[in-house]
């Protein structure tokens, strides 16, 4: 392909640039929606300005700015991690969480909670702090079993999200961390990122009721599939 001034442009290079722009736009939308679920009031445009331009938005808290910046960095982290051969472990989860709470809660970033956690508006009671190590160990053991048994990646990703958010091992940032962990696994297996809309869950303090992990027969409306999917009836929906 030749430009009017005689410059030559390769179609592949143009396609790569277009794909990069689409990915960048989607990253901003995902960051915006994931933070909105937790009550962040930055708009989509404001999120883009904060993350890409370093703009400070008048009337918005420092925490809201940091939530946008941190989530964007955590998203870059899982994209890079997904391309590596490093095994997903408890340390991976802690590293994601440390990025999510960077500069917001230095004492607890990347560390399990040390005080009991309650979820406002929910009857679900997360485990006591002294049980977290064992529950997280069991969580990861089951994850390894599912991989060894050849479970479909969508089911494993759903497990990682749903069970981690039930355990809620951290003082804050559990929702964002669980969604990033789910998407890390999906990216590693050829899927695109799942972007739950903020209105699906409500604002901060109005989280959905955590549900027990369910099998494929009760999961519905998964929004996308990779080209080599092997389980035609597997699907996933946001928790109700």
- Alpha-helix residue ranges (DSSP H) falling in 83-211: 90-100, 132-148, 153-167, 174-188, 198-201
Gap between the Cα atoms of 3 and 211, Å rounded = 56
- Beta-bridged to residue 2, according to DSSP, are 8
8 A C-beta contact, residue 117 and residue 168: yes
15, 46, 115, 183, 232 from 227: Cα distances, Å = 20, 35, 45, 17, 11
Task: Say which range, 17-31, 55-69, 71-85, 116-130, has the weakest mean pLDDT.
Answer: 116-130
Gap between the Cα atoms of 34 and 195, Å rounded = 7
- pLDDT bracket for residue 197 (50, 70, 90): confident
pLDDT by residue (tens digit) across 101-132? 999 999 999 999 987 776 666 667 777 888 99
**Is this model's pTM higher than 0.75 or not?**
yes
Percentage, residues of the chain above pLDDT 90: 64
Average pLDDT on 9-13 reads 73
8 A C-beta contact, residue 207 and residue 196: no
Fold of 11-218: Fic-like fold (1.10.3290)
């Amino acid at each position: 392909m030749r430009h009017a001034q005689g410059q030559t442009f390769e179609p592949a290079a143009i396609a790569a640039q277009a794909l990069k722009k689409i990915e960048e736009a989607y990253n901003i939308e995902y960051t915006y929606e994931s933070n909105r679920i937790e009550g962040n009031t930055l708009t989509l445009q404001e999120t883009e300005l904060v993350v890409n331009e370093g703009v400070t938005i008048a009337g918005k808290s420092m925490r809201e700015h940091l939530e946008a910046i941190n989530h964007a960095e955590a998203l870059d982290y899982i994209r890079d991690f997904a391309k590596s051969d490093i095994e997903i472990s408890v340390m991976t989860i802690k590293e994601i969480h440390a990025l999510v709470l960077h500069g917001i809660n230095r004492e607890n970033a990347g560390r399990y909670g040390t005080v009991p956690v309650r979820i406002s508006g929910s009857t679900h009671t997360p485990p006591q702090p002294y049980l977290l190590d064992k529950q997280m160990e069991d969580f990861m053991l089951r994850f390894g079993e599912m991989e060894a048994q050849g479970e479909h990646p969508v089911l494993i990703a759903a497990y990682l999200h749903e069970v981690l958010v039930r355990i809620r091992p951290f003082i804050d940032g559990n929702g964002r961390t669980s969604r990033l962990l789910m998407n890390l696994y999906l990216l590693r297996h050829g899927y695109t990122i799942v972007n739950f809309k903020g209105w699906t869950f409500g604002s901060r303090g109005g989280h959905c009721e955590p549900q027990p992990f369910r099998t494929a027969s009760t999961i519905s409306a998964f929004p996308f599939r990779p080209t080599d999917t092997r389980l035609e009836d597997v699907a996933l929906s946001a928790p109700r």
